[in-house]
Amino acid sequence: MEIIGSQRRPVHIDVVPTLPLYRSAPPLEVRLEDFELYAMDRLRVLKGIADGLSRGKKSEEMKNLADHLWKANMRHPDASEVVNKDIISHFVLRLVYCRTEDLRKWFLSMETNLFRYRLLFKGPETQRALMVEFNLPYRAASNAELESVKEGLKQVAQSFGQPLAADAIFYKVPFEEVPELVAGRRVFIHKGYAYIAMNQVVSLVATQFRSHLSKALILTNRKWTSTIREQEKDRLTPIVEALCSSYLGPDYSQPREFAEISIKDIDQIAKSSFPLCMRHLFEKLREDHHLKHGGRMQLGLFLKGVGLKLEDALAFWKAEFSQRVGSERFDKEYAYSIRHNYGREGKRTDYTPYSCQKIITSAPGVGDHHGCPYRHFSEENLKAALGKMGISNRAVEDVMDKVRNRHYQLACTLTFEAVHGISCDAGINHPNQYFSDSQKVLQSKVHACALCFVPRLQEAYTLKCA
Amino acid sequence: MTKEEIENGTADMEIDQRELMNGDRSELNAVPDGFNANYLKVYYGKLFPHADIFKWMSYGNDGKHPGCDESYFGRREFSFTLDNDIYLRFQSFNSASQLENSIKEKCPFKIDIGPVYSVDPAKRHAYAQSGNNVFTPVEKELVFDIDMTDYDDVRYCCSGADVCLKCWTLMTIAIKVIDPALRDDFGFNHILWVYSGRRGVHCWVCDPKARRLTNEQRSSIAEYFRVYKGNENSQKKVSLTSSALHPFLLRSYKVLEEFFEGNLLSNQSLFSTEERYEKILEMIPDESITSELRGKWQDNKKSSISKENINVDRWKHVKKILKSGKQKAPGLGKCVEEIVFSFSYPRLDMEVSKHMNHLLKAPFCIHPKTGRVCVPIDPNRCEEFDPTAVPTLSKLLEEINMGGLGTDDDAEWDRTSLGKSIRFFRSSFLQPLLKSCKEEIENSYNAKLQHSKTSLTW
């Protein structure tokens, strides 16, 4: 792809695929302005998809949302340029999102989702054509083969509440090629082969797409670090770097000054400023003097993001755990991983605190207390927990209403608003955001109090002013 | 002394010696229960099947065929936990004797098996510099770990680290559900089930395809097997859709129902007290039904139903009401099945299965807390397995003592209780596995030869 100045020499691609596969950067020329604008439009689509997923929308809704986002953002006045915009924007974003593992993971996930939803909108012809494109040598199962597994196929169809069509086509595919279908028990598997219905072909193709893109991103990263970044340092590099940070928001890996806390304040602060997920973990830790791995990660990284220093973190966890397992065992078995989280051990990655999206999609099991209470708690338990936070019955009802509609982050936002008595327009996307917003509110109230000498919140007096 | 007395005295002595040789053997040879470095030294010296583990881990790459990968065994990670909790990772060996000598010398309290890496783990630092993840796992058995403590909320006979024949049924069920699925659904053949030494079982799937699965693929298999979700904060932990079940679940349900009704109901006395039956009533999302049942049972307390029948009877009531068809509330359709699944369906440790670089305890290790050997379990006869009868380290040492003089050093294990396990390991797992590995090595070697022949002709 060649980036040129203000001159424009459009190049038409001869063969227009029904859905671009982004196999290789095509020989197109792009204006510098379009470089940035196209990418931002596409980023709006990807961000919208991320948002929809974090609200727990199901496949059908997501499909429509993706279509809507695409139509709204990816148009072009010149019809022949629509495909070019698609391709160019993808490749620009590859540059932006190839640079760290977290960025790659996010981009890979959203692009694959986007691809899948777009593919679902196309018909079986396109889907079959893409199977060929991806060199998926899967043949349709013969009638004889189908006879032998008919009972199982029928049962699987019934488990979706659909009858098995008499002439249904199935593809016989090694099970490891379709992990999503296997994981969801959405296919019949026999002797290592999965029998895939036509409409599940999309999943197949999407998995291939993802795997190709994953490898491509690693290659792009190598090229970026070795040549492109330096070569383009006056032209593209600043654009690429700006594109990324303007959309993902702060990741709370570097806690800001005013948010530093010490362990003697922590109980008070947990009550006033922790979001429910962290409050629950914190309370369970105080109660049981223990948390399982998932909980230690979720709470531990949150505390790091909030400003708890490593030494204080070690003292804090040790004070709790030693009441259950003894201080020797703590030093032997748990201290290492706390240091690991702070980037002082092993491969020295400084781990970032989990965002709401990550927490919502986690799967707490037996003995776990992590995850998102709005998603993972039963109604009863959630109402009780909210009540303990001092929220009025009316507000609890509003929150439960959001939960029932699977808008977990909106539920948390409403909780924030109820606890702090002000509105939160941005919405909660990250537990550390909840915390820093909460601290901002409480401390501004302290300032206001100091000015007019009237205590608004009892808690405000026990907080340190920044 | 008189002549008679002397004679009698000698007779006594003769009798004593005979007694020593026959009846009081136990006193002479008795080895007190325990687990320590001295015992382990003898175990690793005479009983632990070093050569078998080596053969297994080589997967046919013993250098005898030109197609063998001579670096294969050396790229496998082992880890040793020594006395004093010293933990040694990234141990690797280039031959059977190196493995054996290291184990005998270090006397590890626990041996774990990790993945086969792209390069010898001992050289990993040399490759870390390039930052391109050149040091990475390339093969690892697909493994499962089922631990009794994950079932603490549904077993009343024991809790925590304890295990008895009653709750062991849950492990039997797990094997009877997972093993057929691994073979029939996923097409795997080389599967080893092992007692974990205290309160659970491990499963090693060793087919070449299984060893090469990615983390994502392992994860999908673990998810395929997962039914139980949630914890004390959520309410319903098993949630089956109201329409029909997937064939795997249907097939499993037959096993579950058989054991639930024929064994767990009574052995765990699931309905015998109010606290216990309330737990089951909690899973029924219909107030009218639960209050009807509650009413019935609170009355029955006064009647003369013998304790044995109470669980079976009450379960019959539950089934009758739930299947009666008069329920209009949604979520009742599969309620009976959900209850049965909750109490009996296998609960896997997902993290163990999902990651290629997970280290799992090697078979034939000894569990430090119980002294029991991690012996293989025959999945076809798993109902007969008794964890309380598994040979312990001290028992084995006693048996060695009884072997006496003039015995052949080579196969001392064969004269102990361990013999049966090692023979089973070889005949039902190792030999078929090695045969199939050899075939694979030959076939791929021949295919390469063929390919180079055809390309030469061009």
Among the partner-chain residues A158, A182, A293, the one whose CB lies closest to the CB of B221 is A182
pLDDT digits (tens, 9 = 90+) for B120-129: 998 888 876 6
pLDDT at A449: 44
pLDDT digits (tens, 9 = 90+) for B8-31: 444 454 444 444 444 444 566 688
pLDDT at A146: 87
Q: Considering only alpha carbons, which residue of chain B is nearest residue A193?
A: B186
Chain A: give the shortest CA distance to residue B222, in Å: 7
Q: Which residue has the higher pLDDT, A126 or A256?
A: A126
Q: How confident is the model over B281-297, as a mean pLDDT?
A: 87
Chain A residues near residue B213 by CB distance under 8 angstroms = 176
Checking if the pLDDT of B109 tops 90, the result is yes
3-class state of residue A2 by DSSP: strand
- Spatial CB neighbours of B194, under 8 Å, sequence gap ≥ 6: B201, B202, B203, B204, B363, B374, B375, B376, B377
Looking at the complex, does the CB of residue A378 fall below 8 Å from at least one CB of chain B? yes
Among the partner-chain residues A183, A193, A365, the one whose CB lies closest to the CB of B224 is A183
Checking if the pLDDT of A464 tops 90, the result is no
CA–CA separation, A466 and B145 (whole Å) = 50
Interchain contact, B233 vs A176, CB within 8 Å: no
Active site residue B16: no
Chain B: give the shortest CA distance to residue A118, in Å: 24
Checking if the pLDDT of A3 tops 60, the result is no
pLDDT at A376: 93
* Pairing mode, strands A2-4 and A29-31: parallel
Checking if the pLDDT of B415 tops 90, the result is no
CA–CA separation, A111 and A108 (whole Å) = 5
- The runs of H, that is alpha helices, within B345-417 are 350-354, 393-403
Q: How confident is the model over A419-431, as a mean pLDDT?
A: 83
pLDDT at B300: 62
Catalytic residue among B69, B147, B257, B261: B147
Q: How confident is the model over A186-213, as a mean pLDDT?
A: 87
Checking if the pLDDT of B378 tops 90, the result is yes
Chain A residues near residue B245 by CB distance under 8 angstroms = 155, 159
Burial of A198 (0-12, 13-18, 19+ CB in 10 A): middle
pLDDT at B42: 94
pLDDT at B329: 63
pLDDT band at A258 (very low <50, low <70, confident <90, very high): very low
Q: Of A87-101, A125-139, A294-308, B266-280, which range is least confident?
A: A125-139
pLDDT at B14: 46
Q: How confident is the model over A326-337, as a mean pLDDT?
A: 87
pLDDT at B301: 57
Q: Which residue has the higher pLDDT, B236 or A98?
A: A98
pLDDT at B232: 63
Looking at the complex, does the CB of residue A373 fall below 8 Å from at least one CB of chain B? yes
Catalytic residue among B112, B145, B207, B338: B145
The identity of residue A182, as a single letter, is: V
Chain A residues near residue B346 by CB distance under 8 angstroms = none
How many other C-beta atoms lie within 10 A of the C-beta of residue A360? 22
pLDDT band at A366 (very low <50, low <70, confident <90, very high): confident
Checking if the pLDDT of A249 tops 70, the result is no
Q: What's the mean per-residue pLDDT of chain B?
A: 87
pLDDT digits (tens, 9 = 90+) for B312-348: 989 998 998 888 766 556 667 788 999 999 999 999 9
Q: Which DSSP string corresponds to A147-196?
A: HHTHHHHHHHHHHTT-PPPTT--EEEEEGGG-HHHHHTT-SEEETTEEEE
Active site residue B145: yes
Q: Which residue has the higher pLDDT, A33 or A325?
A: A325
Checking if the pLDDT of B303 tops 60, the result is no
Among the partner-chain residues A155, A182, A183, the one whose CB lies closest to the CB of B250 is A155
pLDDT band at B242 (very low <50, low <70, confident <90, very high): low
pLDDT at B436: 96
Q: Which residue has the higher pLDDT, B112 or A19?
A: B112
Chain B: give the shortest CA distance to residue A386, in Å: 14
Chain A residues near residue B220 by CB distance under 8 angstroms = 176, 179-180, 182-183
Interchain contact, B244 vs A159, CB within 8 Å: yes
Residue A191 φ/ψ, nearest 5 degrees:
50, 40
Checking if the pLDDT of A1 tops 70, the result is no
Looking at the complex, does the CB of residue B209 fall below 8 Å from at least one CB of chain A? yes
Task: Please say whether the dihedral angle defined by the alpha carbons of residues A131, A132, A138 and A140, taken in this order, is positive or negative.
Answer: positive
How many other C-beta atoms lie within 10 A of the C-beta of residue A201? 22
pLDDT band at A183 (very low <50, low <70, confident <90, very high): very high
Checking if the pLDDT of A255 tops 90, the result is no
